[in-house]
Amino acid sequence: MAIAATSTGVQPATATKKPKRATQAAREARIFYLCVAPWVIGFILFQLGPMLASFVLSFTRWDILSPPVFVDIRNYTFMFTRDADFWQSLRVTVTYSLFSIPLQLMVALGLAVLLNEATRGIGLFRTLFYLPSVVASAAAAVLWTWIFNPEFGPINGLLRLFGVQGPAWLIDPKYALWALIIMSVWGVGGTMLIFLAGLKGIPGNLYEAAEIDGADRVARFFRITLPMLSPTIFFNFVMTLIGSFQTFDSAYIIGTRASGSIGAPAKSTLFYMLHVYDQAIAQTKMGYASALGVVLFVIILVLTLLVLRSSSLWVYNEAERK
């Protein structure tokens, strides 16, 4: 946003003084459009088009077999006034996001910083931390049901060592969501890698200069690492936020598929996307599912714009440095 302000402010002045600069700007613009053309075309074909189709469908009742019937805004009024599952799914998704996003970001950053401090065996540890992220979902289902098993599972086994009787986790509506939040920590491998790439990109001479000035490890972390890493933190924050509002796989595999009812136990893991899936696939209410999808899109869009707005306050950007 800062770029827009400066460039529009400067252009008219240079255009009148030096016509050469203006043609150069036009040339640069042409190259820009050429560069982003593949994405723009792909966006129109594979995203905007299908999205508009979905938006139109959200005003219809459509069971796939017969042609869609226009129903005005009735899908939306039903959602906000009479669909209790809509509100429950929103509550579940927001609770999950509130706890799992900070947890994931802190664990990922902590692991990345720790790995960055190590001198030998980084490759091995990096692979170990990433391993849980590559387990295929079919295997993950069996795996996590066993880990959270109240009788035989290793988590309650560990708690028993400390004399604590663990909860029934995936079977207890009070704890099922917490089990999924704990589970999300195992999947931070990808986020950690992005943090690590960011850490490696920080010029080493900054640290050397700070060390000569007498800054200790803690000061160097807060004065150099965190500010220089802020674009990466911003990126990971946005991506984790978006991902967590679209959580589907883990909830579907662990809660729903294991017990056969959607969002089990007692709808305590009824994530928003599960509700969309249930309406679209199980109930074949494609029109209503489209409306749910549109609302989710708006929610995520608003949240991300809020984060984006705040980013100029805390994100360092080399390109915007003048």
Partner 1 sequence: MAQLTSPVTPPRTQEWWKTRQFGQIVHDIIVYTLLVLLSLVFIFPFFWMVTTALKLDYEIFLWPPRWLPNPPHWENFGLALTDPQLPFFPTFFLNTMKIVTLVVIGRLVSCVVVAYGFARLEAPGKDVLFAILLATLMIPGTLLLFPKYILFNRIGWVNTILPLTVPTFFGEAFAIFLMRQFFASIPRDLEEAARMDGCNTFQVITRIIVPLSVPVLTVIAIFSFKDNWNDFFGPLLYLSDRTQYTLAVGLAFFNGRYDVAMNLLMAASVAVMLPLVILFFIAQRAFVEGISVTGLGGR
**Shortest Å, Cβ 200 to partner 1:** 5
> What separation in angstroms does the CA of 212 have from each of 20, 48, 215, 220?
46, 54, 7, 11
Q: Identify which of residues 32 and 87 has a Cβ nearer to partner 1 in the complex.
A: 32
Contacts of 55 (CB under 8 A, 6+ apart): 290, 294
Question: CB of 221: closest distance to partner 1 in angstroms?
Answer: 13
Q: What is the token pair recorded at 78?
A: 């039903």
CB of 286 to partner 1, least distance (A): 6
Q: If we measure between CA atoms, which residue out of 306, 273, 202, 244 comes closest to residue 105?
A: 244
Q: What is the DSSP letter of 256?
A: I
Question: Smaller CB distance to partner 1: residue 110 or 174?
Answer: 110
Output 171 or 202, the one with its CB closest to partner 1. Answer: 202
Nearest distance from C-beta of residue 133 to partner 1, angstroms: 7
Question: Rounded to an integer, what distance in angstroms lies between the CA atom of residue 296 and that of residue 97?
Answer: 14
Q: What's the token pair of residue 117?
A: 């401090």
The amino acid present at 50, given as its one-letter code, is P
3-state secondary structure 177-190: HHHHHHHHHHCCHH
CB of 168 to partner 1, least distance (A): 17
End-to-end CA distance of the chain: 14
Comparison of 84 and 138: residue with beta carbon closer to partner 1: 138
CA dist 315 and 202 (Å) reads: 14
Q: What are phi and psi of 68, to 5 degrees?
A: -60, 145
In the complex, the smallest distance separating the C-beta of residue 117 from partner 1, rounded to whole angstroms, is: 5
Kindly tell me which of 4 and 313 has the beta carbon lying closer to partner 1: 4
**Is the CB of 95 or the CB of 133 nearer to partner 1?**
133
